[in-house]
A = this chain, B = another copy of it.
Amino acid sequence: MDSHLEDLFTLLRFPSISTASEHAGDVRACADWLVQKLTGMGLGVELHETPKHPIVIARNDHREGRKTVLIYGHYDVQPVDPVELWDTPPFEPVIKDDRIWARGATDNKGQLMAHLLGVEKTLQEKGELPVNLIFLFEGEEEIGSPNLVPFLQAHKDELKCDVIAVSDTGMVAKGVPTMGYGLRGIACCEVLVTGPKGDLHSGVFGGAVANPATAVARLVASLHDENGKIAVDGFYDDVKPLENWEREMWAQIPGVSDEDVLRITGAPEAFGEPGYSSAERLWARPTAEVNGVGGGYQGEGSKTVLPAKAMAKFSFRLVPDQDPADIQKKVKAHFEKHAPKGVKVEVVVGHDGKPYYSDPHSEDGKAAQRALEKAFGKQPVLIREGGSIPIIKDMQDILGADSLLLGLALPDCQIHAPNENFWVENFEAGIKLNGYLLEELAKG
């Protein structure tokens, strides 16, 4: 285990924050280290430049008649703000209470390394792999993978595969192996509201000039009715209704009840779209979430200004069969329709990605479930996921292969938040899983 942890810690020390331009060099250094590591494993490695962060590809010697398996991961991470809430520095990994603590520990460096080290172990023990393998590691997942789709399109033939394996999703609870067959999509946008040319004294000018912070708040508030139902015209038009077997299975799954969600998040009460359980709200219903709102004076004490501008950042989580482009259009129209008087409202459309759905009972799906059972000693549960990995849908569309979502994240692993962590036992199980997975897929 020691050398495995050493490799993971090295990877975690790169502050590879893809959204922050000042970290571009760190993202690059992280990719370079992966190239070196994969080359050392005896694989054929390529580093592909993109307009932003590089893509790393590695392959064993491919032979006719074997199944081709593509394993996808990403080596970029989310920002670390508010950094003062971290108990230990985000890019100085430590083990404490049987967990690895660092930005990226779970999302996605820990899981990427489980793939990589599982393959390394098989190579070391057996000298070869039972399948044709392609590793595809990108550095732009946290900014919506802007350059991966063009890359896939340009390298469609070299990346041809039968099935894809991805560990970038979650387990419902500790010790409960989990296979995902659906993901929410995403559509992001930002609203900028401007009013006066500079901040104004709220006494001298208040009352005769519209307040951009009030305006942005009215726009945020316009997204939901008071019960949490989304109020954008036509938003639910294409939502695929839940199937009965899903509602029944999910009601039995440990760790995703309303009470579990409250315990894990610390939220004071369950809240969401009326008529659905927490699991159903998270996995099969869309959302309209404000990720950040800001305007005016936010410091100590009071400052009686009428702010010149205010903004809000939004992400909409989408479910099959919602189309992100359609939702972006509807949301933009909504904001324009609800634009308060007296201010200028600008809607900046951001990145998006389609929701994903595949049949969990396919041959490869069953092979993956056998591998999960071997690695964890327990039968896996079948779920969808609340998070978005747009690339899964893109790979389905471009490469024509479904993805097996074999996530190792736990609900309290704090991904995208301070104190991100990864259980050491999940890291170990993940390494084993990647050995069994190639074996089982080769049988199918």
A interface residues (Cβ-Cβ under 8 A, vs B): 19-21, 78-79, 81-82, 85, 143-144, 170, 184, 186, 188, 190, 194-211, 213-214, 216-224, 226-228, 258, 261, 265-273, 278, 281-282, 285-287, 289-307, 310-313, 315, 317, 340-344, 350-351, 385-388, 411, 414-419
* Cβ B203 vs Cβ A299 within 8 A: no
Specify how many copies of this chain sit in the oligomer. 2
For residue A266, which residues in chain B have a CB less than 8 angstroms away from its CB?
196-198
* Cβ A206 vs Cβ B293 within 8 A: no
* Cβ A270 vs Cβ B342 within 8 A: yes
Given the known inter-chain contacts A278-B208, A292-B296, A311-B298, please indicate yes or no for A221 contacting B213, CB distance below 8 A: no
Question: Which residue of A290, A302, A385 has the most chain B CB atoms within 10 A of its CB atom?
Answer: A302
Considering the complex, give the chain B residue whose CB is closest to the CB of A85: B198
* Cβ B342 vs Cβ A269 within 8 A: yes
- Cβ-neighbour of A305 out of B213, B269, B417 (below 8 A): B417
Query: In the bound complex, how far is the Cα of B340 from the Cα of A417, in angstroms?
Result: 24
Give min CB distance, A239 to chain B, whole Å: 12
* Cβ A291 vs Cβ B297 within 8 A: yes
Ranked 6 nearest A-B pairs via Cβ = A271-B342, A197-B266, A203-B387, A292-B296, A217-B220, A19-B301
Apart from A143-B302, A203-B315, what are 20 other A-B pairs with CB-CB below 8 Å?
A19-B302, A19-B303, A20-B301, A21-B300, A184-B203, A200-B416, A200-B417, A202-B287, A203-B386, A207-B281, A207-B317, A209-B272, A211-B289, A217-B293, A218-B226, A267-B343, A291-B305, A294-B295, A303-B313, A304-B416
